[in-house]
Amino acid sequence: MGLYCFIILFPGGYFNSGKREAKTIYNAVFKQIREHLQLIDRDIVVCVGIDGRMGRYYPKDQLALAIRKKGIVAIGRKFHPTDDEEGVIEEAQNHKSLESGNSRYFLFKERRFYLAVCNDIFGIREKGLKNPDIDIVLNAVHQFTPRGEEGSGDVYFARWGFAGASKQWECPVFGSAVFFKRNIPPKWPSGVLWNQGKKDIKIWKYCNNPLVPKRTLRPIKIKEGIASVRIYSLSPNT
């Protein structure tokens, strides 16, 4: 097994099952990702968002999966819908609910990782949830629209979402998102660790964040546009 081990986080809704239930493509998604993992002599977990049962405005299924070579190791369904999604999507009963018999937590290198789906990151603080023995939160965010449009709140997500959840659970929070028809803000913090004590999250700024990427790869051209890859190091071997 190679020296370095990775967790790769993709945005919410990276895969979509259309009108069908999201679970109908779990196996196909696993097989597709496993093909790539088997070519690499390293222990890797791929976390990816899957949407399904598309409605007029929102997908009824909004989930995140964690996949290793051996199979799907965790599944999380959105437990904290937006106001517009309330009563429209199928939400998890709570932040610890099983999904298809799977936990939304997984263990990797002696750390417990938690799968949050987009707006879930706000629910951690707003609901005053106690940390269920989690070391790191992984948030699969769907997208941010052009500035001024509804859904453009990347700063709001960073401050009230990432920083708020990090403060509430006293652990790092990492997020991945699509910036739709807009450039990726170079200073947007895809990893946040709260270290401001009892200060209000309203006054938190990007410069207060001690968590910075170890490396940022050059923009990668993909068919959908450009991808920015940021690599964080949590220990010498991860």
Task: Yes or no: say if 1 and 28 are a contact pair by the CB < 8 Å rule.
Answer: no
Rounded Cα gap, residues 63 and 102, in angstroms: 12
pLDDT value at position 1? Answer: 37
Rounded Cα gap, residues 20 and 51, in angstroms: 10
Rounded Cα gap, residues 95 and 69, in angstroms: 26
- Name residues of the chain where pLDDT drops below 50: 1-2
DSSP state of 208: G
pLDDT value at position 157? Answer: 96
pLDDT digits (tens, 9 = 90+) for 93-109: 999 999 999 999 999 99
Rounded Cα gap, residues 146 and 89, in angstroms: 25
pLDDT digits (tens, 9 = 90+) for 187-225: 999 999 999 999 999 999 999 999 999 999 988 898 888
Residue with tokens 């938690």: 114
Read off the pTM. Answer: 0.95
pLDDT value at position 222? Answer: 87
Tokens read off for 3: 């020296």
pLDDT value at position 236? Answer: 55
Report how far apart, in Å, the C-alpha atoms of 210 and of each of 38, 97, 163, 171 are. 35, 32, 11, 12
The structural domains of the chain, with segments of one domain joined by +, span 6-231
Rounded Cα gap, residues 110 and 145, in angstroms: 37
Rounded Cα gap, residues 139 and 169, in angstroms: 14
Give the fold, CATH level 3, of 6-231.
Nitrilase/N-carbamoyl-D-aminoacid amidohydrolase (3.60.110)
Report how far apart, in Å, the C-alpha atoms of 96 and of each of 149, 175, 204 are. 33, 19, 28
Contacts with 84 (C-beta within 8 Å, 6 or more apart), sequence order: 57, 58
Task: Yes or no: say if 14 and 222 are a contact pair by the CB < 8 Å rule.
Answer: no
Backbone torsions φ then ψ of 19, nearest 5 degrees: -80, -15
pLDDT value at position 237? Answer: 53
- Smallest Cα–Cα separation from 17: which of 25, 7, 9? 25
Rounded Cα gap, residues 173 and 176, in angstroms: 10
